[in-house]
């Protein structure tokens, strides 16, 4: 049993998950690329407005798929934030490419688009953006830089499912994008992911790589007589068991997102007085971004204040967490990557950020409990809490 009264995350079911797994079994295909995989592809293509979709067994795999698709070679450079999960950088480092870290914006905590151009060298091949917390990066500026320097834009949209930037779905804007269906993400199949291909140049080859480097798709369409090894590739496909679970999750994706947003809004309203008192800084959402409530983060004034805040919540059975340990400061980051310029915002945010529990099944009382405990952790009386915050629809 977890020692926590309120866990950090708890996956929810949309209803049909186990029926669909049973159906996959009854259909007699448990390996990948069956009916449920195709159903997930169709759902994602329709709802995200992306070019082509290929399910993968993780977002990490989808990012490694991108590196393979771009034929990255040792010495090639990929610009990205250091304030992100390990896989954003590792996926490129395993191909011998060098992650080049650039600082993040202090408001959205996304890659600072004004710092990208100075980091571009003759070896730069791509820019990887991470839409932190499902809040879109400044894609117009980033796509423009990439176009002028002939770079590929890859969206690490692990947080970005069903969020938009200027009306466009995250994951549909870059040449390539990667989604995650890990247990901690809004929509989950335990482990899972997808590669989204928005640039037609990569469509055909992506299919070959997804088929383990074979011409299986062309063979299945009767376009070739031999089924054979034609290119590099890997085993990226999830099984139909995973795809069946995911298909059911996707059916509930919009209602889960709406539910998460209601909880997010409740936190946001209830914590406004703590921000006004200078005790925390709440998330900043630009007016042109619609987020998906992937996470609710607070910035504390100092590293010590952050650790004390976390200790207070954790000791009271509320599982809040910190992240990310900036990649440029990690042991592998120092071996395999480099930074362009100083990364003061990344360092500060890595030391002062807290994530509150947030999952679709949280009750009104769970949220109120976290809020009251956050007030106590900051030494602010709970009667500062606006009455309206307690009434926001949940």
Ligand X SMILES: *Cc1c(COP(=O)(O)O)cnc(C)c1O
Min dist. Cβ of residue 217 to ligand X (A): 24
Q: Does 306 bind ligand X (CB under 6 A)?
A: no
Q: Does 87 bind ligand X (CB under 6 A)?
A: yes
Q: Which of 88, 186, 198, 297 binds ligand X (CB under 6 A)?
A: 88
Crossing angle of helices 240-251 and 35-48, rounded to 10°: 40
Q: Does 156 bind ligand X (CB under 6 A)?
A: yes
Site string for ligand X, 35-64 (x = CB under 6 A): -----------------------xxx----
Do 58 and 210 form a contact (C-beta atoms < 8 A)?
no
Min dist. Cβ of residue 19 to ligand X (A): 25
Helix H or strand E encompassing 80: strand 77-81
- Euclidean distance between CA atoms 45 and 49, whole angstroms: 5
Q: Which of 52, 105, 125, 159 binds ligand X (CB under 6 A)?
A: 159
Q: Does 65 bind ligand X (CB under 6 A)?
A: no
Min dist. Cβ of residue 57 to ligand X (A): 8
| Closer residue to ligand X in complex, CB, 175/182 | 182
| Closer residue to ligand X in complex, CB, 188/211 | 188
- Euclidean distance between CA atoms 203 and 196, whole angstroms: 10
Number of other CB atoms surrounding residue 46 within 10 Å: 10
Q: Each residue of 195-220: b (16+ CB within 10 Å) or e?
A: bbbbeeebeebbbbbbbebbbbebee
| Closer residue to ligand X in complex, CB, 33/87 | 87
| Closer residue to ligand X in complex, CB, 110/211 | 110
Min dist. Cβ of residue 380 to ligand X (A): 31
Q: Residue written as tokens 């369409």?
A: 221
Min dist. Cβ of residue 275 to ligand X (A): 25
Q: Which of 180, 215, 237, 346 binds ligand X (CB under 6 A)?
A: 180
Q: Does 182 bind ligand X (CB under 6 A)?
A: yes
Min dist. Cβ of residue 191 to ligand X (A): 6
- The pairing of beta strand 52-56 with beta strand 353-356: unpaired
- Euclidean distance between CA atoms 349 and 339, whole angstroms: 17
N-terminal to C-terminal alpha carbon distance within the chain:
28
- Euclidean distance between CA atoms 174 and 180, whole angstroms: 16
Q: Within 13 Å, how many C-alpha atoms sit on residue 230's CB side?
A: 18
Q: Which of 6, 158, 194, 271 binds ligand X (CB under 6 A)?
A: 158
Number of other CB atoms surrounding residue 254 within 10 Å: 11
Interface segment toward ligand X; rule CB under 6 A; list 85-93, 108-116, 233-241, 280-288: 85-93
Q: Which of 21, 130, 289, 310 binds ligand X (CB under 6 A)?
A: 130
Contact positions toward ligand X, by CB under 6 A?
58-60, 84-85, 87-88, 130, 156, 158-159, 180, 182, 193
């Amino acid at each position: 049993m977890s020692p926590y009264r309120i866990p950090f995350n708890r996956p929810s079911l949309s209803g049909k998950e186990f029926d669909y797994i049973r159906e996959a079994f009854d259909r007699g295909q448990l390996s990948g690329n069956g009916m449920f995989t195709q159903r997930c592809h169709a759902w994602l293509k329709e709802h995200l407005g992306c070019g082509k979709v290929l399910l993968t067994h993780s977002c990490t795999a989808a990012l490694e798929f991108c590196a393979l698709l771009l034929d990255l070679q040792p010495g090639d450079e990929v610009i990205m934030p250091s304030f992100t999960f390990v896989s954003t950088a590792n996926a490129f480092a395993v191909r011998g490419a060098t992650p080049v870290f650039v600082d993040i914006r202090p408001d959205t905590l996304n890659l600072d688009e004004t710092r990208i151009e100075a980091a571009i060298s003759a070896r730069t091949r791509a820019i990887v953006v991470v839409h932190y917390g499902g809040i879109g990066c400044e894609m117009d500026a980033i796509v423009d830089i990439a176009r002028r320097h002939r770079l590929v834009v890859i969206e690490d949209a692990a947080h970005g499912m069903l969020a938009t930037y200027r009306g466009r779905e995250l994951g549909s804007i870059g040449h390539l994008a990667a989604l995650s269906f890990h247990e901690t993400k809004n929509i989950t199949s335990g482990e899972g992911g997808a590669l989204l291909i928005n640039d037609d140049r990569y469509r055909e080859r992506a299919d070959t790589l997804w088929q383990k480097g074979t011409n299986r798709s062309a063979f299945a369409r009767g376009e070739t007589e031999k089924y054979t090894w034609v290119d590099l590739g890997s085993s990226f496909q999830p099984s139909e068991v995973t795809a069946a679970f995911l298909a059911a999750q996707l059916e509930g994706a919009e209602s889960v997102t709406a539910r998460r947003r209601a909880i997010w809004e409740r936190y946001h309203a209830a914590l406004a007085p703590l921000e006004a008192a200078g005790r925390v800084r709440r998330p900043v959402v630009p007016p042109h971004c619609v987020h998906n409530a992937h996470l609710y983060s607070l910035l504390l004034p100092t590293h010590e204040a952050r650790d004390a805040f976390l200790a207070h919540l954790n000791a009271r059975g509320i599982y809040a967490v910190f992240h990310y340990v900036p990649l440029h400061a990690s042991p592998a980051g120092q071996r395999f990557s480099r930074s362009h310029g100083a990364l003061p915002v990344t360092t500060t945010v890595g030391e002062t950020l807290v994530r509150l529990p947030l999952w679709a099944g949280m009750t009104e009382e769970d949220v109120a409990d976290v809020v009251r405990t956050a007030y106590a952790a900051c030494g602010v009386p709970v009667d500062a809490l606006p009455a309206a915050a307690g009434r926001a629809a949940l």
